[in-house]
Amino acid sequence: MIDKKHDDGKFIRPLAFIGIAAIIIISFSFFILWRIDNPRAELIRIAVIDKIVPNLDWAITPATKVSQMAQNFQNYKRLYDQNQELRNELQKMSDSPHPQASVTFGLRNLKPDSRSDVS
């Protein structure tokens, strides 16, 4: 009969050794690549980072939308306050008897027959 106790380790050990050696070689090559101060090496590093680091636009989108909503609300609030100020100024102008305003309003409210009488 075949002894199964010793058969399992026959293929696992060499594969584990090759895997660990590959990880060590890749790690060492990344270390060397990051230590080189060269424009070409910089381009390679940027390309590697772009491939490895995932695109996180989907994660940033909610925060971007919330900040845009806050900015739009601030703009709306500023316009609302400006509108209120203008309404108050118009209300004050219509409440206070201003001589120029009464003359202007008086000329507008005249009937067509009486406009010729005003010189």
Q: How far apart are CA 89 and CA 95, in angstroms?
A: 10
- The whole-number pLDDT of residue 34 equals 82
Could you state, in chain order, the average pLDDT of each consecutive group of 10 residues for the chain (119 residues)?
Answer: 60 90 94 86 87 81 92 94 94 74 51 50
Q: How many CB atoms lie within 10 A of CB 21?
A: 10
Task: Find, among 24, 22, 48, the residue nearest to 36 by Cα.
Answer: 48
What residue type is assigned to position 113 of the chain? Answer: D
- The whole-number pLDDT of residue 37 equals 86
Please tell me the pTM assigned to this model. Answer: 0.36
- The whole-number pLDDT of residue 109 equals 52
- 101 contacts 93 by C-beta, under 8 angstroms: yes
- The whole-number pLDDT of residue 119 equals 46
